A and B are shown apart, each in its own frame.
Chain A
Amino acid sequence: MNLQTLAFILTVAIQSSASVLFATIGEIFAERGGVLNLGVEGMMLMGALSGFATAYLTQSLALGLLAAMAVSGLLALIHGVFAITLGANQVVCGLSLAILGIGLSSFLGRPLVGKVTVRFSAWPIPILSDLPVLGPVLFAQVPPIYLGYVLVPAAWWVLFHTRAGLNLRAVGENPAAANTAGIGVAATRYTWTLCGGMLAGLGGAYLSLAYTPGWRENMSSGQGWIAIAMVIFALWNPWRAALGTLLFGLVNALQFTLEARQISLLPSYLLRMLPYLFTILILVLTTRSTGSRKRSAAPASLGIPFEGEG
């Protein structure tokens, strides 16, 4: 395998994993506060659709991104109302939202199938993109990818070095203690669930405005669900999330390369199953390794509604 192939693989890996990365980071934020949001797939699709539709109508990519975040944020807000205020079963709510998002995007997006509009084009960063081998791979990408580069360290920094992050983590681990310390549990959870939804929508918009581009029914093909699994692999840490999504991207790249070169190492249908089997594998490995340590890495209050006191 020569350097060129390696560069190609790495490029594909980065490009194909960006949407999952956004959704994963978003879900990390939501779950760190104790809210399980299973509606990510629906939010991603709605984000993809609204981003595309807005860009189509306004010819503005910026407005497209904003619209994507607004719509997916709205869905996240609905989830918040049911999960946080009403204390409903977060699994059922999330699943329903996912189905709603999938159906709604399919329904509303029909007229847009096959349409073409403005899209993100690569913005090579001067000097950096001239570096040998890695230069074009890392620094000649579309802007949302650069956002992703920034998002990971920013998420880490916010979680572990700011008061907002401290509060979020406290709410997720021990809402009673956070409540006693004067932190608004519901307000915190709403804020970060919303943030998570918006990031999922951003991931979707990346798909429709940069990666694919265009709108197709169900275009995320389960990446929303994969993001949820990825959060577990990431042990709710942004750096590990980046690692996990990159690995996922590499699996995708491997699949593309083998198919493109028609190397019959594995039949093509098995290749296409790889991302999903890979996800199951990392779930098993992660659960096993943390399970043996007698304490779960998950935020202790994940999925459990919190009720205030008298």
Chain B
Amino acid sequence: MMRLRLERRPVPPRANRWGGYGVAVVAAFCMGGVVFLLAGANPFAAYAAMANGVFGSLDDLAEVVVKAIPLVLCGLAVAVAAKIRLWNVGGEGQLVLGGIGASAVALFLAPRLPASGVLPLMLVAAFLTGGLWALLAGLLKAKLAVNEILTTLMLNYVAILWLEHLYFGPWRDPMGMGFPGTAMFPDAARLPRLLGTRIHFGIVLGLTAAVLLLAALSRTRWGYEMRVIGESPKAAQYAGMPINRTILWAMFLSGGLAGLAGMGEASGIHYRLQQGLAVGYGYTGIIVAALARLHPGGIVLAALFIAGILVGGEQLQTVMHLPASVGLVLEATLLFFVLGSDYFSQYRICRRTPTP
């Protein structure tokens, strides 16, 4: 009697990987169909509505790009930390802090600065505040070995509470018409938009960051050390690499990228600090990074894909009155299936004759 056995392969062939993605996408959409049924909706109609919401018009496609911008930045943020096995779950909070930092410049420093200097300063402020917020957790990890997942998470809640305090309280727009938030940013503090769409300069930031990160990881000394520390900590030690310092810089960079996402939202979309800044991009960034296996180029693609799901979900809400959070469900399910296919592509089923 022959028995089947799973044998591990050292390097899964490319075709398997992509095939795995394909299967995962199909499976995830099937699961989504089940969820729609549970909510009492016709899956086909639902998916059709989503597709229409994405591809229906150029405006819709632009909206996908708009949503992809913070996803790219947050995905890159997660990826940078994950490269050395740090889990930065605090993208949400760092995004918020970045928005706060940028807003501080926009609201209080902008009047005193030449117009051309406002945006660059905001960028720097956003990067710094986001980076420092993440660095807090990084320091606790490097010096005191405190679990960074929990600290970054807790800091998310703190950040959001602080944000609410600011735009409900001291920074509230005195002339606001009910919708809570700060005053609108002056023109000099608004990110330029592309050709009449809602796509703002953040797209340049996101793509630049992706390209820079890709280049840095493969061509700089820092990138090399990151890769070795992440891949083989023991080999990194053997090679005498500065592990603690790398942890701190990675967290700072990670938070900074998320902070830029926050600035993008505040200064490119809302033009103020308001409710609606923290809508989950930080968490979705984790999924984007995981789907792309931490590859900066893949993150851009994954971000677009997920953004499509999000936009489609919003359409679903408008047209079929189903909650837009179906997007989260689809993304998480997709990730699970990708993880599963990951593991199966590493194995090969072979026959083994039993020993006598």
Binding site for B on A (CB under 8 A): 38, 78, 82, 86-88, 91-93, 95-97, 99-100, 102-104, 106-108, 110, 217, 221-222, 225-226, 228-229, 232, 267, 269, 272-273, 276-277, 279-280, 283-284, 287-288, 291
Contacts and interface: CB of A to CB of B under 8 A. Distances in A.
Contacts of A93: 336, 339
B336 to A, nearest CB: 6
B12 to A, nearest CB: 14
Contacts, number: 125
A38 B149 contact: yes
Most buried by A among B151, B164, B325, B331: B325
Interface of B: 35, 38-39, 87, 89, 140, 144-147, 149-151, 153-155, 157-158, 161-162, 164-165, 169, 283-284, 286-287, 290, 322-323, 325-329, 331-333, 335-336, 339-340, 342-343
Nearest to B332: A100
A104 B290 CA distance: 19
Nearest to A272: B161
A269 B154 contact: no
A273 B150 contact: no
Contacts of A284: 140, 144, 146
16 contacts: A78-B336, A86-B339, A92-B290, A96-B287, A99-B328, A104-B325, A107-B35, A107-B328, A108-B35, A108-B38, A225-B153, A226-B154, A273-B158, A273-B162, A276-B157, A287-B145
B325 A103 contact: yes
Given A100-B332, A273-B162, A288 B35 contact: no
Contact of A82 (B38, B147, B339): B339
Nearest to A229: B150
A99 B283 contact: yes
A7 to B, nearest CB: 29
B151 A283 contact: yes
Contacts of B164: 269
Given A99-B328, A103-B329, A276-B157, A283 B336 contact: no
Chain A facing B: main interface SS:
helix
Given A82-B340, A91-B149, A283-B146, 19 more contacts: A86-B339, A86-B340, A92-B339, A96-B339, A97-B332, A100-B329, A102-B328, A103-B325, A103-B326, A103-B332, A106-B328, A107-B325, A222-B153, A222-B154, A222-B157, A225-B150, A229-B150, A269-B164, A280-B155
Contacts of B286: 95, 99
Contacts of A221: 157
Nearest to A94: B149
A288 B144 CA distance: 6
Q: Kindly name the residue among B158, B290, B335 whose own CB sees the greatest number of chain A CB atoms within 10 A.
A: B158
